[in-house]
Amino acid sequence: MLIIKGDKITKDGANLLRVWQVINDPTEQEKVGAYEIESIPEYPKQKRGKSSIMYYNIDSKEFLFEEEDRPLTPEETAEETRELLVNIREELKKLNEKK
């Protein structure tokens, strides 16, 4: 048995649960205030500078995800810096070719 817990919110008229905990084989105490579910969907592929927030529609029993901005991780910052350097090198190469 899987259960989820989270913060109840109403968004665009829908009763949602912003999921912050998933428990497999819960105790009776953990079941209090939780929603029983069959399975958890996979999170969308992570995008640079974005977090996927999982919501559970209490009425339709469906999951949905929303993107939220977040600070870049050190790896994402390094990747972004490398991309900028590649672009700068390409532009410098074009300028040198015009001479």
Question: How far apart, in Å, are the Cα atoms of 16 and each of 19, 47, 67, 92?
Answer: 9, 24, 16, 51
pTM (whole model) above 0.75:
yes
The encoded tokens of residue 33 equal: 């205030």
Q: How far is CA 85 from CA 81, 93, 96, 97, in A?
A: 6, 12, 16, 18
93: DSSP letter: H
Domain assignments of the chain as residue spans, ordered by start: 2-70
List the chain residues with pLDDT less than 70: none
The reported pLDDT for the residue numbered 1 is 86
At residue 98, the pLDDT reads: 81
Tokens 């999170």 -> residue = 43
Give the largest CA-CA distance in the chain. Answer: 76
